[in-house]
Amino acid sequence: MSDNIQTVTVLSKTTWTPNLFSFTVSRPDSFKFTAGQFVRLGVNPSRLKYYQQQDEELAALDEDIFRAYSIVSSPFDEVLEFFSIVIPDGAFTSQLQHLEVGDELLLNTMPFGFLTLARYQKPLPKDLWLLATGTGLAPFLSMLQDLKTWNDYEHIVLAYSARSVEELAYIELIERLQADFGSLVDNPAKLIFIPIVTREPVDGALTERLPKLLLDGTLQERAGIALDVDSTHVMLCGNPEMVEDTKEALKTLGLVMNRRGEGNIAVENYW
């Protein structure tokens, strides 16, 4: 095993829907990362109780499969948390869905990715817009659990789109962060949370896709602030088509891609 690979233990699992779950694992003492970064997680059926008990043939394969996962938990947490979808027939998540507390996973301790707030040199931080679909919420939850994010920005808008209300995971955490971190900073209304549910009507949630909401001004109206090219940082994470379409909508509105530290828009495709 490479020097960078460590064994971690599953500490908890939360099932949101039959296809959506979160889990925490132990955090190696030496492992450091910045909010918004990814790691490679490895699964091996021989290390999962489910396969040991139900499928001796697969367990005997003893094969590691690695995938990139964005970290949900804050850089200051004692554990590492991840948010996952089950992809039908997906080699990795079809095994991962059977995780149980006490199982072992592999962690490549070299974090990577550029969806971090440190990338913004110009404009300086003022308004932060975090636009996510599905499991693309993960890096933003990590950033929102870092007090520096709350201190650096005047307004933080989190718009989070899912197909159905049951797929809008982490609502309680978002509300808790609004209350807990909100009370530590000058402006307690700093985090403006905008849920979007696209395939069923839900009280209090917007229903259209992000590019349309931006182009017709609904999102800005709901947030109560404008998207100003001189003061706005926008991060996109999730479905690659959403990232592409939303990027184009933002460019139409006059915002520019962040390159070498300058510009408004930073993106990460989640798959």
Task: Using alpha carbons, select from 130, 95, 88 the residue that is nearest to residue 233.
Answer: 130
If phi > 0 it is left, if psi is from -120 to 50 it is alpha, else beta; for residue 269 that is beta
Task: Using alpha carbons, select from 7, 13, 4 the residue that is nearest to residue 96.
Answer: 13
Within a 10 A sphere around the Cβ of 8, how many other Cβ atoms?
21
Report in angstroms how near the CB of residue 32 gets to ligand NAP at its nearest. Answer: 24
Residue 242 in the binding site for ligand NAP (CB under 6 A)? yes
Residue 40 in the binding site for ligand NAP (CB under 6 A)? no
Interface characters, 137-176, with ligand NAP (x: CB under 6 A): ------------------------xxx-------------
Query: What distance, in Å, lies between the first and last C-alpha atoms of the chain?
Result: 26
- In three state form, how does the secondary structure of 212-267 look? HHHHCCHHHHHHCCCCCCCCEEEEEEECHHHHHHHHHHHHHCCCCECECCECCEEE
Residue 55 in the binding site for ligand NAP (CB under 6 A)? no
Residue 209 in the binding site for ligand NAP (CB under 6 A)? yes
Residue 95 in the binding site for ligand NAP (CB under 6 A)? no
Structure tokens that stand for 70 in this block: 């964005």
Given 116, 239, 258, 264, the residue binding ligand NAP (CB under 6 A)? 239
For ligand NAP, the closer of residues 63 and 248 by Cβ is: 248
Interacting span for ligand NAP (CB under 6 A) from 33-41, 96-104, 108-116, 237-245: 237-245
Give the bridge partners for 268, in sequence order. Answer: 237
In angstroms, what CA-CA distances link 14 with 11, 64, 100, 141, 217?
A: 11, 24, 10, 16, 36
Q: Of residues 17-36, which lie at the interface with ligand NAP (CB under 6 A)?
A: none
Task: Using alpha carbons, select from 88, 166, 169, 81 the residue that is nearest to residue 132.
Answer: 169
Residue 210 in the binding site for ligand NAP (CB under 6 A)? yes
Please compute Rg for the chain using Cα positions: 19
Given 122, 176, 199, 251, the residue binding ligand NAP (CB under 6 A)? 199
Give the whole-angstrom CA distance, residue 1 versus residue 3: 7
Given 43, 85, 99, 169, the residue binding ligand NAP (CB under 6 A)? 85
Query: By Cβ distance, which residue is nearest to ligand NAP?
Result: 134
Given 37, 70, 97, 133, the residue binding ligand NAP (CB under 6 A)? 133
Report in angstroms how near the CB of residue 19 gets to ligand NAP at its nearest. Answer: 7
CA angle 48–52–55, rounded 5-degree value: 110
Given 211, 234, 235, 267, the residue binding ligand NAP (CB under 6 A)? 211
Give the whole-angstrom CA distance, residue 243 versus residue 26: 32
Given 135, 149, 178, 264, the residue binding ligand NAP (CB under 6 A)? 135
Given 7, 34, 52, 198, the residue binding ligand NAP (CB under 6 A)? 198
> Site size for ligand NAP, by CB under 6 A?
19
Contacts to ligand NAP by CB under 6 A: 85, 87, 133-135, 161-163, 198-199, 209-211, 239, 241-242, 245, 270-271
